Amino acid sequence: MQAGNHPELNKRIFWDINFETLDYDKKAAFIIERVFERGDVPDIRACRRFYGDDKIRSVLTNAKWLSLTTIYLACACLNNELTDYKCYNTAQLNPGHWIY
């Protein structure tokens, strides 16, 4: 599944940047977060094979923002808890406005 020294990821995930010049080492956190937010199962598998679960766990648990759906997905893939994610804990401390 890997081509050269980077994972085969769908270009649609990175629609807003120049995909061909993406640096997979320097932009690892950006890539991992984007793949888990917008990728499908083959993209997530390729990302996990390339970066490894330890690197992915470190990036996602320290992310400034992830959707709740992505946090649940990461918990299922990485076998950890919601409270392991800093962005989840931050969101719990800052509840939104009440809708009357």
Per-residue pLDDT tens over the stretch 71-84: 999 999 999 999 99
pTM, two decimals, is: 0.85
CA trace torsion 4, 49, 27, 57 (10° rounding): -170
**Phi, psi (deg, nearest 5) at residue 93:** -80, -15
- Tell me the average pLDDT of the chain: 89
Q: What is the pLDDT of residue 91?
A: 78
Per-residue pLDDT tens over the stretch 11-41: 999 999 998 899 999 999 999 999 999 999 9
Report whether pLDDT(7) > 90: no
Radius of gyration of the chain (CA): 15
Angle at 41 between CA 40 and CA 42, to 5 degrees: 95
Q: What is the pLDDT of residue 9?
A: 93
Q: What is the pLDDT of residue 2?
A: 41
Cβ-contact 51, 28 below 8 angstroms: yes
Mean pLDDT of 35-59: 96
CA–CA separation, 57 vs 71, rounded Å? 11
The pLDDT-based confidence of 6 (bands split at 50, 70, 90) is confident
